[in-house]
Amino acid sequence: MPPAVHSFGIEEEFFLVHPRSRQLVRRVPTGLLRECQRRAGRVVCAELLQSQLEVASPVFETSAQAREQLPALRRAVAGVAESMDYRLVAAGTHPLARWQGQKATRQARYAQLMEDFQIVGRRNVLCALHVHCAVPAGVDRVQLMNRLMPWLPVMLALSTSSPFWERHPTGLMSYRQAAYDEWPRTGIPDHFQDQDEYDRFAALMAGQGAIPDASFLWWAIRPSLAHPTLELRICDSCTRVEDTLALAALFRCLVHAHLANPELGAARSAMSRRVIDENRWRAKRWGTAATWVDEQADAPVAFGSRLDAMLAMLGESASRLDCEPELARVRAIATHGTSAHRQLEVYGLRCEAGDSRAAALRAVVDWLIATTLAPAP
């Protein structure tokens, strides 16, 4: 395959936070986005709420480019925020945020979303990580998507960073995924036969006024409308940039391995989609401590075993794409825990020391602010 088929892009969503109150910024000066774009380029975009920003990377051809440029983009945007006395936080939810009182970004698209979805839109105080991976011409992206879907719960488990909602621990490692289920056309997509059938579905929905176009199909994975890519959408925003790079590389290796071996992921049954969705629930609830339902086994499979099988399958792809450091980081996430684990640890320790719940949550936000820009230990 030519090198161009290995290109990829990363979209990270961030919260803007007041450093003293640790609350979300409800109204953002118009100059903040303009200054971010001046320093970092047009890759910095507004999001649905004024308290959010998105950084959509340039197209990367190599892992080395991503390692160099993605942390630099974070630093550039954080520098602009700090110059206006704000801070940047990467997490699926903000521990202290209340959805009431959040202000939508002043754009026609976002105003229409709020009008259409009402409380569902107003409650969307959520940040995600999206990864695009190029698919070569002649390959049916939907058939490839079908084969990748069993691995989606693993990607979610490795990214969990949203254990809090409305100032309370939720008991979930990714409450963001649970909240996002309020939106239509989310979660695990159906197994469409091919791109043609997927396009017919999108045309049906658009033709009858349900959606403007296929970009309003917000599933956990989808063929991009704007780019010749598959887009991974299931992951929480990763607090550590090294974790973002690791998950992007993991997805890239998955695509590469399935392109190289057409038999991977080809087997499925009428139960498969429901099994994948059950495992997505388990990833939301327990993260890397989950066990997976396995159609081919007699008993649930531990996350560690599932991850070991995944990484063994991707060894050759990781070597060819120079992703071995990132896949080593994947193992470290599984061993030492995700952002959600660390947030809960900080919260628990402060509560044990006698802090109020509010004070403990402020400590969690402090950890998030520091770790969003800190190098991995």
pLDDT of residue 86: 95
Q: Which residues contact 111 (CB under 8 A, 6 or more apart)?
A: 104
pLDDT of residue 104: 86
Assess contact for 206 and 175: CB atoms under 8 A: no
If one counts every other C-beta atom within 10 angstroms of the C-beta of residue 66, the result is 24
Assess contact for 256 and 320: CB atoms under 8 A: yes
Q: Structure tokens of 327? A: 């896949």
CA distance 179 to 167: 15
Q: What would the DSSP string read from start to end of 185-218? A: S-SSPP--SSHHHHHHHHHHHHHTTS-SSGGG--
Question: What tens-digit pLDDT sequence spans the chain (377 residues)?
Answer: 344 468 999 999 999 999 999 999 988 888 888 998 988 888 898 888 989 999 999 999 999 999 999 999 999 999 999 999 999 999 999 999 999 988 888 888 888 988 999 999 999 999 999 999 999 999 999 999 999 999 999 999 999 999 999 999 999 999 999 999 999 999 999 999 999 999 999 999 999 999 999 999 999 999 999 999 999 999 999 999 999 999 999 999 999 999 999 999 999 999 999 999 999 999 999 999 999 999 988 899 999 999 999 999 999 999 999 999 999 999 999 999 999 999 999 999 999 999 999 999 999 999 999 999 988 77
CA distance 177 to 156: 9
CA distance 129 to 255: 17
Q: Structure tokens of 11? A: 């979209």
Nearest to 165 by CA among 95, 243, 255: 95
CA dihedral in degrees (339, 313, 2, 61; nearest 10)? 10
pLDDT of residue 41: 83
CA distance 121 to 299: 39
pLDDT of residue 349: 98
Nearest to 123 by CA among 49, 52, 184: 49
pLDDT of residue 298: 87
pLDDT of residue 3: 40
If one counts every other C-beta atom within 10 angstroms of the C-beta of residue 247, the result is 27
Fold classification of 3-373 is Creatine Kinase; Chain A, domain 2 (3.30.590)
pLDDT of residue 5: 60
Residue ranges per domain, the chain?
3-373
190: left (phi over 0), alpha (psi -120 to 50) or beta: beta
Enclosing H/E stretch for 278: helix 272-286
